[in-house]
Structure 1
Amino acid sequence: MVVRSTVKNIGFLSFGHWADSPHSMVRSAQDSLLQSIELAVAAEEVGADGAYYRVHHFAQQLASPFPLLSAAAARTNRIELGTGVIDMRYENPLYMAEDAGAADLISSGRLQLGISRGSPEQVIDGFRYFGYEPYASDPAGAELAREHTAKFLEVLSGEGFARPNPRPMFPNPPGLLRVEPYAPGLRDRIWWGAGSRATAEWTAQQGMNLMSSTLLTEDTGVPFHQLQAEQIQRYRDAWKAAGHSREPRVSVSRSIFPIVSDLDKQLFWRERHSTDQVGHLEGGNARFGKTYAGEPDKLVAELAEDEAIAAADTLLLTVPNQLGVDYNAHVLESVLTHVAPELGWR
């Protein structure tokens, strides 16, 4: 079934992998950080709308998003800057609100923060090393993540809550004090990375935007894009039922590689017949979306049938960052030039 797309924003999502290997263009953490900034600049130059970064602790990947987001904000002028996603089990909500507020002000209100409970970790209960203990009834920390999120969202409202010192070092404004710096509007630019249909409904109830990835932690036997489209519809229904006043945003992530050069063919020709994969994640079934690779006309035909892309307003292109900035900028430009116009995206 060919479906009409509503995609208006196209950005990239980078995991920021590095490896000290002759096959990698990203050999160190410094390489990863600096190239992540350069890719944001390049993405803006080729006409993309967003630069998003994954967050993984205890891994040779990006882990501390706010210095990176601030640096990218200082080097760009237009594109959105975000995460997909920050694991809230690891976060101090008030400290995070300070960092996020500063990054958002540096970007002039371009921050789009994806948060969630996080993905399977590199270490056992890594959040414990950061000083956070889950409830005995919730060893994986899901409730811990939601509690941290609730406090974070509350602080982002800008309402004062802290009693001022009667003899402060500097004069205080009247009333209770809030965390500074305060970033107006940031509360409406928080996204939750939902891995299931039920979690998407919860996301809507909390008034957060929906960030859906290339996997879902459930499997009903239907193709991934249809299951994800159902998730999005449930989210929108729950949003309407909650009575929120603004329009929500929804993003999906995809691996899309137009083959328009010999190097593209060398790297991704074997992915032309990629299919959904069903596996196990944290003890349960999971469905993983396929890679889209091929000549542009083939991709246009395939992507026109992706019901979840059609239902979203934002598409994040997962990029193979270890291939370097130039190649990833080429991938973005190829999608924007050879695929997006034919599908009515943007």
Structure 2
Amino acid sequence: MSDRPLKKLGFLTIGLFDEDDPGRGHESTLRLIELGERLGYDSAWLRHRHLQYGISSPVAVLAAATQRTGRIELGTAVTPLGWENPLRLAEDWATVDVLSRGRLNPGVSVGPPLHYDRVKDALYPDTADAEDFGYERVRRLLDHVEGRPVTDFRGTEGIETYSDRVQPHAPGLRARMWYGGGSLRSARWAGENAMNFLTSSVVKAEEPGQAADFAAVQLSHIRAFRAAHPEGEDARVSQGLVVIPTDSATAAQRARYEEYAASRLPRTRQPQGPARMLFAPDLVGPCEEIAERLRAHAAFREVEEVAFALPFTFGHEDYEQILTDIAERLGPALGWKAPTG
């Protein structure tokens, strides 16, 4: 058994769709969230895909999901803040949190938007060279969510009444803010700023000559985060590996899953690129085998929450099979118990 039995089971999807029929892909994502709730999952997470054929507006999709679910927590893993105005985003998230009755778990990351040189004239035509894509952008967002004043005026002007803080205000949302990081610096910063920490299947092997030991690197990030966090060992961490159980899969599905994982395996053998990005292997096979591999994973042994990532390119029926096997077989094998009632 792992050192910390699994308490919260979640899943992550990017919500792919056909450009000529985007409604079907978005509906598929909503149906998967509904299925997740029926299966007992604690959380469902959406990942942003800007200028691609995946969900570009998780806040809109999650708003819809609040009206089709009643218990499952809903999150973003993650929202790249380089694309967002923190004040407007705080308004959107507070609105979705109110609609969900306190179930929203927003995750964010920093850095310039991907391919910034190609998109900056459309995204920030007048301020592209002045935008700050660092941690200060997150601090602004946290202040807005917490309810700190954003203006020096509140009161009535004519027949209009104004607030000096973001409305609606969502009490408790600040405590459910997550930072998605893959470096020691990010882990420490998230801890110092009392956020929760999302760690995925990608980390940075930052030390020169550092061995390609994904679990060891990820473990160092988790421990650095908790060492810096006011809650110490009780600070929340969620791990997001790609997990593909095959227990109830057809022969065709198993072959497709194994081919998918094999095509991505070479990148896991050594750090990639100047940033020395290190990728975790996808976990494919029967649930008992996956559980054994997770129990041997040094970083997994340090967490009580997961948001297993669904593979990017499979179909709706594949995702239903994967989610069902995880909830009915893998989760219990790791000590997780579905909620009752």
Q: Could you list the runs of 5+ residues in structure 1 that have no partner in the other structure?
A: 21-26
Whether the 8 Å contact between 2:18 and 2:53 is mirrored in structure 1 is yes
Deviation track 1:84-118 (CA, whole Å, cap 9, x = no partner) reads 11111111111111100100011110000010025
Q: What displacement does 1:198 show?
A: 1.8
Q: Percent identity of the aligned residues?
A: 26
Whether the 8 Å contact between 2:79 and 2:107 is mirrored in structure 1 is yes
Q: From the superposition, tell whether residues 65 and 246 of structure 1 become closer, same or farther in structure 2 (CA, over 3 Å).
A: farther
Alignment of 1:110-129 (within 5 A): 110-117=103-110, 121-122=114-115, 124=117, 126-129=119-122
Instruction: Give the secondary-structure state (helix, strand or coil) at the position aligned to 1:75.
Output: coil
Q: Does residue 83 of structure 2 align to residue 96 of structure 1?
A: no
Deviation track 1:196-218 (CA, whole Å, cap 9, x = no partner) reads 01210011111111011111122
- Aligned twin of 2:51: 58
Instruction: Give the secondary-structure state (helix, strand or coil) at the position aligned to 2:270.
Output: strand
Q: Does residue 75 of structure 2 align to residue 86 of structure 1?
A: no
Query: Quick one: which of 228, 235, 240 aligns to 2:225?
Result: 235
CA RMSD of aligned residues (A): 2.6
Alignment of 1:318-337 (within 5 A): 318-320=309-311, 322-337=313-328
Structure 1 stretch displaced more, 326-335 or 114-123: 114-123
Structure 2 distance, partners of 1:93, 1:272, is 37
- Aligned twin of 2:184: 197
Deviation track 1:297-345 (CA, whole Å, cap 9, x = no partner) reads 3222211101212212221111135433332122111022222222223
Whether the 8 Å contact between 1:46 and 1:329 is mirrored in structure 2 is no
Q: What displacement does 1:227 show?
A: 1.1
Aligned length: 327
Structure 2 distance, partners of 1:277, 1:39, is 32
- Aligned twin of 2:296: 305
Alignment of 1:174-323 (within 5 A): 177-218=164-205, 220-239=210-229, 243=230, 247-260=234-247, 261-262=249-250, 263-270=252-259, 274=265, 276-281=268-273, 283-320=274-311, 322-323=313-314
Alignment of 1:115-194 (within 5 A): 115-117=108-110, 121-122=114-115, 124=117, 126-131=119-124, 133=127, 143-162=132-151, 163-164=153-154, 167-171=157-161, 177-194=164-181
Q: What displacement does 1:8 show?
A: 1.4
Q: Could you list the runs of 5+ residues in structure 2 that have no partner in the other structure?
A: none
Whether the 8 Å contact between 2:203 and 2:278 is mirrored in structure 1 is yes
Whether the 8 Å contact between 2:179 and 2:197 is mirrored in structure 1 is yes
Structure 2 distance, partners of 1:285, 1:313, is 28
Q: What displacement does 1:29 show?
A: 2.6
| Letter paired with 1:233 | R
Q: What displacement does 1:192 show?
A: 0.7
Q: What displacement does 1:224 show?
A: 0.7
